[in-house]
Structure 1
């Protein structure tokens, strides 16, 4: 019995140490954790000092606010010793990657608007060197400059906010409440007062027109061939059929004029078919997925 009691005491101290480790990993003070959970500060202090053993619901609540898995409290691995350095390194790489992505997005939007860097420089008041550094990811973009650039390119800056941004503990999320539909009893009753009796209006049904009687030519009459209107209709049909072919040919000529000879040779070369398929697949991928791929490539290169 004494040995079992000692084992339980050691186990309680181990769970208490892992609770403190999870709180340090989450960068939270005891007061902040208790404010989120609605606990007294003394209660959390008793749990972390192994004075009071925690319950499973309490461990689940702590795991939720500390953003750690529940099985952390049943393991042997410390999180607070290794994660701070890793977090700083990851965040630095993330900032560099986001600057490159934003620069590429600016260049892509500017090209689609047929703006040169000189045009964007004159419109925003930035120098060409600044715009070049921003587009190449060589300089961080101040949000004031980014607002001017997106305004000139007619882009909502909210569309460029990373959906995978890490929320901090200072952000307070306001729950979105869906308005309830009014009940039938709550709807106002509209009473119509009319001295005339209620008569349901009946839509007037148009009378069918008499079908024209076809004229039968006499034997002496000569039956004329198809009229000019019918022949004109056939000509219009042939013209409408040839219009898509003409439009396709004009589009091909226009695209040939926009592409450089080197790019045309690259497209016509059958060896580069896989590269073209890869470019087509990347152009249809969502922006969030492209960001994840770029982050993975950055982790490989660093």
Structure 2
């Protein structure tokens, strides 16, 4: 088996395990998640067992539904959701517009890189006919294959993630909130109490001062306490 074909198979298996782990950790059924993704239960079973892979729009919908960053599925570690429960709201399962958007972006970037489809086929070891159907938007692109294509034309997977719509808007909100969510519990408790706002504002003012100015203030405080 060709090395890249072996990598694709391993990537499908790993992604399937991560998807199954995330669904089970959230306590969601195959039916719930399949409906959120816009696929059948049998398709989701095949995805979880590594027989096939979701497209990026399907993975975005799954991530949104389970309150996970889609970037989690580029890795290999089990993930703890940001909240105890997943969303009751589900994204629009129709992915036609997103698939077309991805296809157009891939085609534009390939042409910008000066690569023909034949050259891209040789570099990715994906059949020419398959790449043609992907760029024409006639088939959804499984994420492992999308990763290979993106790498060869100089795109990051993050460049392909939907910046708009329900998953995109949610992702932007979570991205800005994540640093706060990852703070120690005692710090989060302190920040959440309105009575501590003056201390937070003071810290903000102090952080904007130069080191010389801070040293001067510290010396003044020391003189007062002596």
TM-score range, shorter chain: 0.3 to 0.5
| Structure with greater proportional helix content | 2
Taking CA–CA contacts closer than 8 Å with sequence separation of 6 or more, which of the two structures ends up with the larger relative contact order?
Answer: 2
TM-score, L = length of structure 1: 0.29
